Amino acid sequence: MSKMSYYIVDTETNGLKPGWHEVTEISIVRCSDRTQLTRRIKCRFPERSNDIALEITGKTIPDLLKGNEKLDVVKRCNEFFEEDGKDPESRCMVAHRASFDVSHCHSLWAEVNEVFPAHHWMDTIKFAQDWSKKIGVLPEEKTKTGNPSFKLASVLKFAGIKAMPGQHNAGSDARNTYLFWKKGMDLGIDHLPSIKPYRHKIG
C-alpha cells in the first residue's frame, strides 16, 4: 500500500438510496498535494428527494436544479485522477463511512456509463475505532443510545483537530476528513485494516 495514491472524497446526496437518489455535490482531495476539486451537480429527479436529506444538507428543491451536468462532473473528476499517472488498482479513496460514498460514487459514474477509477476504499470510521482502541480513549460525544459517537465532528474532537466550518458541505467535510486522516497517518495508526476493495463494474 506504500505506493498507493490516496484521495479523500465526500458526497452529499438528496437521499440514501443509490440509483434512486442522486449525488448533489462531490469533493475530492488529492492527499499528495492537498489539491481539492469540488463540484455541485444538477439533479435529474429532484422530486425524489428525501425531506430529511434536504434538511441536513440545507438544500431546497430549486437548489437541486442548479449545478453542473453529471457527465461534465465525472469527466472532470476522471481527469483529476489521471493526473497522478496511476491505474485504479493503485488508488485508494478515503471517506468517512465509506460504504455510503462508494455506493453513490459508483452510481453516479454508472449513470454516464463510466467506471469509477479507484479500486480501494478506506473507511475513516474504522480508522477512528482502531485509533481509539490503540490509545485506550473513547470519543467524548455519545449517540442517542449512549455509545461513543464516531461521526466526523466527534472524531475530530477526539483527535484534537479544530473542524473547518460547513458541516454537511462536501468541500468542508472532505477537508475535515483529510485533517483526520493525515493526523492518524502521521501518528502511525495502522490504516490497512480500514481498506477494502470495491471494484466498480457496469453493464
Residue 195 lies in a domain: no
Does position 2 have pLDDT exceeding 70, yes or no?
no
Q: Within a domain: residue 202?
A: no
Burial of 12 (0-12, 13-18, 19+ CB in 10 A): buried
At residue 52, does pLDDT exceed 80? yes
Residue 167 has pLDDT above 80, yes or no: no
- What is d(CA 73, CA 56) in angstroms, rounded to the nearest whole number? 23
* Phi, psi of 27, deg, nearest 5: -135, 135
CATH number for the domain spanning 148: value is 3.30.420.10
pTM of the predicted protein model = 0.95
- Please state whether 97 falls in left (phi above 0), alpha (psi between -120 and 50) or beta: left
Q: What is the mean pLDDT of residues 17-32?
A: 98
The rounded distance, in Å, linking the Cα atoms of 98 and 74 is 19
199 belongs to a structural domain: no
Cell numbers representing residue 45 in the block: 429527479
- Could you tell me if residue 75 is inside a domain? yes
CA 12 to CA 173: how far, in whole Å?
10
- Whether the per-residue pLDDT at 1 is higher than 60: the answer is no
* Cβ 101 vs Cβ 9: under 8 Å: yes
pLDDT in tens, 142-162: 999 999 999 999 999 999 999
* Percentage of the chain exceeding pLDDT 90: 95
Specify the pLDDT at position 9. 99
Q: What average pLDDT score do residues 101-126 get?
A: 98
Task: Give the C-alpha distances (Å, rounded to integers) separating 177 from 61, 89, 116, 123, 167.
Answer: 28, 22, 21, 10, 11
Q: Which domain holds residue 130?
A: 5-189
Residue 200 is assigned to a structural domain of this protein: no
> Picking from 136-145, 159-168, 182-191, which range would have the lowest pLDDT averaged per residue?
159-168
In sequence order, what are the beta bridge partners of 35? 30
**Under 8 Å CB-to-CB from 200, ≥6 apart: which residues?**
106, 109, 110, 115, 116, 119
What are the tens digits of pLDDT across the range 131-140? Answer: 999 999 999 9
Residue 106 CB neighbours (<10 A)? 19
Domain count of the fold of the chain: 1
User: Is 198 domain-assigned?
Assistant: no
